[in-house]
Structure 1
């Protein structure tokens, strides 16, 4: 039997009409008397008062309650089965009366919707009771039986729960009175956190998971294990990750599979919604009307309750202020902010497993899991990078278009539109699309953080380094690169991270990247010191730009400034991690951006992309000849770069023609001992060597080595290069002993000066191993080639041309030594597969 609670502090005081004091209707505990009589008196009094008020909906609902009570009077037996329903109805009109008396029009307008809702339910109840009486006429004493019949029981129970829900909403609205805005009150009574307790249950109206929820079993198992472990402490579990990854759905699925005494859902997106959610807990438990009342109840109640703090995404909210301070209870938190991991156990929610992703797509698309459909689905989910929300949207579109086969091509040409389109029919309450959910996070970023994220959208989505920006900040405006006036935007952006002394401030950069990380829009690999962006976020952040040229130009310049400042002895290794970004950026139109083509040429050249390098080198030379003239030193550098590119492409006659011209001009303009002249001499000697003109090559290389020894000393890197080139010429002429003597010396000096892992040291090891092989000292060759291959795989990657050459060399050596198992074991290639590689690189030597 339901009874009204006594007024608490802050509750509205009773009000009078015509001298009669009205309070919420109460039934004495365990009363066996006719409880309808006082209820009818109360209803009649309120209905009479409502006649004088200018609010017809209040009058209507009061009159309907009176009709309900009078209808129940006609039920002769077991009418206590309807007592709770009648009690709630009478309590509602009592609260309505008190509120309107106290607050007049404000309350009347506020409660209009609830009055109409309740009146509709009551009319249905009255009709149901009358229908039941008609059906069971002549069966005295059988009221209880007809109330227990399945269909009628469900019908009455359903209306009873609905009316109790209205009563709970009304209580809360009465408590908050006029200190809440209308939209805040609406949020309270419509939010999932508002407790609508069904008869006989102690669980609130937490939303169910999506009807097509799929997979995530590993995370669910981990959560069940965690919450089922008695640690003697409060259980807190954090699901964090990118928006659209499915954090909320995993939490709801876990709750559905679990048995907690109470479940409270709190929207944690704002302080206001958190406060509202906690207030609703207090109201539903009749312990007060504030967030503090709710927290006190949670802290004092040792039942197996769970609070689900959903969407705790705002990094400016200190969630600890809203957590119950106790060693019992259960809490689940979902957030885009990885910092919330500090609250307890946690799991990064990222992309789905492929099998689960394809099943989800086909279920949402209403397509059967045939072999053909599965193949198509696999390709689609790969393109969507297994992101749940993107898969749901794709499935919804396919369901509407009924074209699974054609979706992929359509998506590839209309990505932004399809990832922004909200389906008309939904399987859950999530209101955002893939792109809009990220836009919400993006809008919270500061201007500087938003700019950094958008700049990174022009780079490859993995392998983004702080070093790119810090190195660019050291740009010192060399004569052959763009001047200051062409670089205002990148210089202004970088200035935010540079101290007045010119030093790079890593802490300021960290502050900005942490701001972006707080919404999981970027992630960081602490071991590799590299940032990455989810591929779909990467695409979205670029598609969101109304004009991408300014930011593309800015990022183009930052990369060019970075490359320009990388020391010459480091550029080859740096090119390995820079090339993916250069390729994606696709060097912008030089008429609209600062011209760093010379810098980009180096990256293409050192990563073996010689066709791309040739195209850039030809453009640079043409521009330099036009603007600076044929004899300008920068023109000669551009000419030499193009000639070197021709050599790598095997166009040796073109290379020779240019290199002869460069050497002549350098000698004439700069003199025989100038570094540029010596470089030109060494480059021409290499081409002579490739053409088989070994005597010409030797004469030039001997001269270069003598001059560099004299000018730079024995240990200078340029001297060692000259020594290595001369050794190569000796090797090709068959003078292997002379070659070996020079190469042993080069390797010793490079190990001492540069270390074992430097790329130049590896070149020296490779050259000496080649000479050992020529001298048939294959064991010595193998001892050098094994570490060369291992180190190049680590430094350059398995597919780099230099790695492939090292693999080919070692395979030949293993085979020559008769160790075919080792030969076949080089990266798992068969001899058939490796032979073309060997052929290419032996011919190029």
Structure 2
């Protein structure tokens, strides 16, 4: 019976299923071999004379030799197959099976090549910084085991980076052992093979004990240690010498490492070289430009670049690839061209699917919901705030739409029905264990690689259901964010709201109100107006003109008109709101006082200062009486009245109120809160008008620095403070400082406003021109406060 030929025929005919077929064949053969061996062993136990006669009759020696020969050839074939699986790069396409060779057989005589690492791919490029870090680490004298971890997303190139390091430093190590760490079975097989190679015995423990006892500098490479359920530490030799190198998608293995490196996106120059090399294209300046656009679109992910290169090599479509990719992204990242690089055997999408399939249902759902948000800066707050939302459905349709999001959020609610951050952490840690998401501890937010982000949506059977669910969750979160936290929250949530609304999002009227509110706080006033108009129209039709929801929508739209400078439209709405609030709720109701304060602010900007003062005084008195001196609404009313005093020319009274507001805001909200910074900026303007320029400068510098850090360089409050400080510098004759700020301000205003606000841009250019004339010795060094007024919030 030609056993080896049968096995080889089976292997060649079953392609990718060879591992399973081979295991089955070996199990069948094991039974046959065990039966024959048992008979031979019984024969050997008989008295010598009988054994000799038996041998002469049945020629046992020749049978035993044949059995032994078949056994060795089976083991050699198995070793070659294991090697094929072991060198597979980080993609889990082939896994070495656990093959049941009888434990009473002599040690397996496999070839020495099983312990040697294959060379890196011939198209390997880059990773110099990581390689230098690895060389430096392993060359140190630590007095302990050298353990280094390469971690990152599947397809980033961890294994190939490792093989390149081994190639560059192989002479430094007495032995190099490569162990496929995909499963417990492959680890056990790999360690047993080392034992067999070194004639140590037949168990994994034999290998570990030998490594522990050897003073030489061996390298043990654990490749593809991606399964977070495996306790990898138990397979480390118990000693204070030797070297261990681990590749894994799981950043949690850093706990074992003396050093580690994240293998992430490639440097652009390396990525361009890799694409052109893998595509077989000439490295010309024109091709470099095209390739740079392609690798940027692929977010510099190694495996995606190689896959694109293989497609381009087959099709010759370097200049057309981006157009094809835009229309066929999922197909191009899922399918492997027939002629591809053997070192990169799997595709981007199949690589991630393996990790995704191992996630629990809550982890899968969370990642799928995240795929509709912006890929960066995803805070836990979205979900924790949403969990406190009290549903207010207007009918069975709305109630059904909230069912799925509320059901998902319930997974993270403790027995007391409060948000369970620990449960949320455990689910996100599960996703992080495969490097499908990253966590920024400083910003306390998560990010998803852009390609993983878009790929995740391909795992959905009902994308619209998930899209509607996350729209509801974000809307629920915005609804429950306290007013004093809305400014900061708007900075965090704005990219996610944009992704949801501009990603063909159908936002229901209830949540249109919330999204419009966030746009208002983010100073995206045209976006806010569009949503608020839709809400007001819906509420008038369904709820009626006098319903509290309709009046709230009317007041919100009026506030947006106010910020847009459409003061007459704001006044018309606010007069109606105040009249109805007084009639329905009474004079002292908080909503009535809010309407009164808003109308007072509009009168102030319209120049109707007496009306503004009368309403402002009433609002402040009532809020002090009802809410107390330190309530945020009381401080808001105080600031509004101070603004009116300022415009009336009563600067002393304005300054006194503003000092109180700033002191209390610092105490209640903290030094860095946006409302505190607004109060500080307003006081700086009053100091300026009073001629207290040093005090104005000191406050102005602090305000601008903090607003840049907290709100960003382009936020309207930051730009307002920039203009005010520039004017203060000019008046103090600090012309270079003033010029620097004006030039920056002009560029940012142009970028933000375009050509729609020529008056605003002309005013800035006038200021800049005056400063530049003064810098160059013009006699007309007019103090800016005599011809231009600073801007208050």
**TM-score interval w.r.t. the shorter chain?**
0.7 to 0.9
Pairing partner for 2:703 from 788, 792, 806 = 788
Which of 447, 472, 478 is matched with 2:361 structurally? 447
Q: Is the 8 A contact 1:168 1:284 kept in 2?
A: no
Indicate the SS of the match to 2:291: helix
Matched, 1:597 2:512: yes
Deviation at 1:388, TM superposition (A): 0.9
**Contact 1:553–1:594 at 8 Å: present in 2 too?**
no
TM-superposed CA distance for 1:415, in Å, is 2.1
Secondary structure in 2 matching 1:333: strand
Once the two structures are TM-superposed, the CA of residue 750 in structure 1 deviates from its matched residue by 2.3
Is the contact made by 2:278 and 2:313 (CA closer than 8 Å) also made in structure 1?
Answer: yes
Q: Contact (CA 8 Å) 1:631, 1:665: kept in 2 or not? A: yes
Q: Pairwise mapping of residues 610-625 of structure 1 onto structure 2 (< 5 A)? A: 610-625=525-540
CA contact (8 A) 1:195 1:204 kept: no
Give a deviation string over 1:92-131, Cα, whole Å, max 9, x none.
xx7543477xxxxxx7xx96xx7xxxxxxxxxxxxxxxxx
Q: Distance in 1 between matches of 2:226 and 2:212?
A: 25
Q: Distance in 2 between matches of 1:612 and 1:194?
A: 73
Deviation for aligned residue 1:252 = 0.6
CA distance in 2, matches of 1:593, 1:834: 33
2:271 pairs, out of 311, 334, 357, with 357
1:429 aligns with 2:429: no
Q: How does 1:752-771 map to 2 (within 5 A)?
A: 752-771=667-686
The answer to whether the 8 A contact 2:40-2:60 is kept is no
Question: Deviation per CA, 1:534-553, whole angstroms, max 9, x where unpaired?
Answer: 12111111232121122222
Structure 2 residue matching 1:427: 3-state secondary structure? coil
- Indicate if the aligned counterparts of 1:165 and 1:197 stay in contact, CA closer than 8 A: no
Q: Distance in 2 between matches of 1:381 and 1:282?
A: 44
Q: Which of the pair has more CA radius of gyration?
A: 1
Report Cα offsets for 1:399-434 as digits up to 9, x if no partner: 223232222233233222222121323334332211
Q: Which residue of 1 aligns with 2:440?
A: 525
Name the counterpart of 1:720.
635
Separation (CA, whole Å) in 2 of partners of 1:421 and 1:537: 16
Kindly state the Cα deviation for residue 362 of structure 1 after the two structures are TM-superposed: 1.5
Cα distance change, pair 829–406 in 1 and its aligned pair in 2 (3 A) = same
Equivalents in 1 of 2:633, 2:554: separation in Å? 20
Mapped contact 2:81–2:96 kept (Cα < 8 A): no
Matches within 5 A, 1:337-416: 337-344=250-257, 345-416=259-330
Whether 1:335 and 2:248 are equivalent positions in the alignment is yes
Identify the match of residue 416 of structure 2 among 487, 501, 510: 501
**What are the Cα deviations for residues 308-363 of structure 1, in whole angstroms up to 9, with x where unaligned?**
21100001111123222233332211001112112222211111112111111111
Q: Deviations over 1:354-393 (max 9, x none)?
A: 2111111111122222222222222222222211111111
Secondary structure of the 2:177 match is strand
**Alpha-carbon separation, structure 2, partners of 1:229 and 1:14:** 54
1:664-743 matched pairs, under 5 angstroms: 664-743=579-658
Q: CA 1:401/1:187 → structure 2, altered by over 3 Å: closer, same or farther?
A: farther
Question: Which of 542, 548, 554 matches 1:633?
Answer: 548
Query: Aligned partners of 1:523, 1:451: CA distance in 2, in Å?
Result: 17
Q: Residue by residue, what CA displacement relative to the aligned partner does 1:58-84 show, whole Å, maximum 9, x if unpaired?
A: xxxxxxxxxxxxxxxxxxxxxxxxxxx
Tell me, in whole angstroms, the C-alpha distance in 2 between the residues paired with 1:428 and 1:221: 27
Q: How many angstroms apart in 2 are the aligned matches of 1:281 and 1:98? A: 21
Moved more, 591-600 or 794-803: 591-600
Alignment partner, residue 310 of structure 1: 223
**Distance in 2, Cα, partners of 1:587 & 1:646:** 23
**Unaligned stretches of 5+ in structure 2?**
1-33, 46-57, 84-94, 103-107, 751-759, 765-788
> Where do 1:186-225 residues align within 5 Å?
196-197=111-112, 204-225=115-136
Change (3 A) 1:460 1:599: same
Distance in 2 (CA, whole Å) between partners of 1:532 and 1:501 is 30
Equivalences for residues 89-168 of structure 1 within 5 A: 96-98=66-68
Q: Is the 8 A contact 1:195 1:264 kept in 2?
A: no
Q: Is the 8 A contact 2:371 2:457 kept in 1?
A: yes
Matched residue, 2:563:
648
Match of 1:462 in 2: 376
| In structure 1, distance between residues paired with 2:134 and 2:404 | 48
> Which of 748, 751, 755 is matched with 2:663 structurally?
748
Classify the secondary structure of the residue corresponding to 2:334: coil
| Residues 737 and 320 of structure 1, relative CA distance in 2, 3 Å threshold | closer
Q: Alignment partner of 1:351: what SS?
A: coil
CA 1:14 to 1:262, structure 2 compared with 1: closer, same or farther past 3 Å? farther
The offset of 1:269, in angstroms, is 0.4
- 2:81, 2:608 → 1: CA distance? 99
Q: Which residue of 2 aligns with 1:544?
A: 459
Selected match of 2:160 from 233, 243, 249: 249
Q: Residues 477 and 483 of structure 1 are in contact (CA less than 8 Å); yes or no, is this contact kept in structure 2?
A: no
1:513 aligns with 2:428: yes
Asked whether the 8 Å contact 1:765–1:788 carries over to 2, the reply is: yes
Instruction: Tell me the CA shift for residue 615 of structure 1.
Output: 1.2
Q: Structure 1 unaligned runs (5+)?
A: 1-9, 22-44, 51-93, 101-106, 115-163, 173-180
Cα 1:359–1:708 change in 2 (3 A) is same
Quote the Cα distance in structure 1 between the aligned partners of 2:239 and 2:632. Answer: 67
State the Cα distance separating 1:825 from its structure 2 match: 4.6
Q: Would the alpha carbon gap of residues 464 and 348 (structure 1) be closer, same or farther in structure 2, given more than 3 Å must change?
A: same
Q: Distance in 2 between matches of 1:693 and 1:423?
A: 73
Asked if the contact 1:807–1:826 (Cα under 8 Å) also holds between the matched residues in 2, the reply is yes
Aligned mates of 2:119, 2:271 — CA distance in 1: 20
Stretch of structure 1 that moved more, 271-280 or 254-263: 254-263
CA separation of 1:473 and 1:461: change in aligned 2, threshold 3 A:
same
Deviations 1:250-291 (A, max 9, x none): 111111112233322211101111112122212222333332
Tell me which moved more, 241-250 or 820-829: 820-829
- Point out the more displaced range, 671-680 or 333-342: 671-680
* More moved, 470-479 vs 828-837: 828-837
Q: Is the 8 A contact 1:271 1:317 kept in 2?
A: yes
Q: 1:500 to 1:166 in 2, by over 3 A?
A: closer
Offset of residue 168 of structure 1: 7.1
Written as runs of structure 1 = structure 2, the 5 A alignment for 1:559-598 is 559-586=474-501, 595-598=510-513
Q: Give the whole-Å Cα distance in 1 for the aligned partners of 2:312 and 2:338.
A: 13
Provide closer, same or farther for how the CA distance between residues 831 and 592 of structure 1 changes in structure 2, counting only shifts above 3 A.
Answer: closer
Query: Which SS does the other structure have where 1:586 is aligned?
Result: helix
The TM-score normalised by the length of structure 2 is 0.80
RMSD: 3.6
Q: Please state whether the residue corresponding to 1:206 is helix, strand or coil.
A: coil
CA contact (8 A) 1:497 1:505 kept: yes
Distance 1:701 1:513 in 2: 49
1:15 shift after superposition: 8.2
2:719·2:745 contact (CA, 8 Å) conserved in 1? Answer: no
CA distance in structure 2 between the partners assigned to 1:349 and 1:194 by the alignment:
37
The question of whether the paired residues in 1 share the 8 Å contact of 2:619 and 2:637 is answered with yes
Residues 571-599 of structure 1 show CA distances to partners (whole Å, capped at 9, x for unaligned) of 12211111111111117889786831211
Q: Do the aligned partners of residues 708 and 379 (structure 1) sit closer, same or farther apart at CA in structure 2, a change above 3 Å counting?
A: same
**Which segment is superposed worse, 235-244 or 749-758?**
749-758
Q: Partners in 2 of 1:791 and 1:838 — Cα distance? A: 27
CA distance in structure 2 between the aligned counterparts of 1:823 and 1:451, rounded to whole angstroms: 52
* Residue matched to 1:151: none
Describe the SS at the equivalent of 2:345: coil
Say whether 1:319 aligns with 2:232. yes
Partner of 1:88: none
Q: Which of the numbers 575, 588, 596 marks the counterpart of 1:660?
A: 575
Q: Is 2:206 the counterpart of 1:281?
A: no
Name the CA distance, whole Å, in 2 between partners of 1:527 and 1:699.
Answer: 47
Going from structure 1 to structure 2, the CA distance change for 1:620 and 1:469 (only over 3 Å counts) comes to same
Shift of 1:167: 11
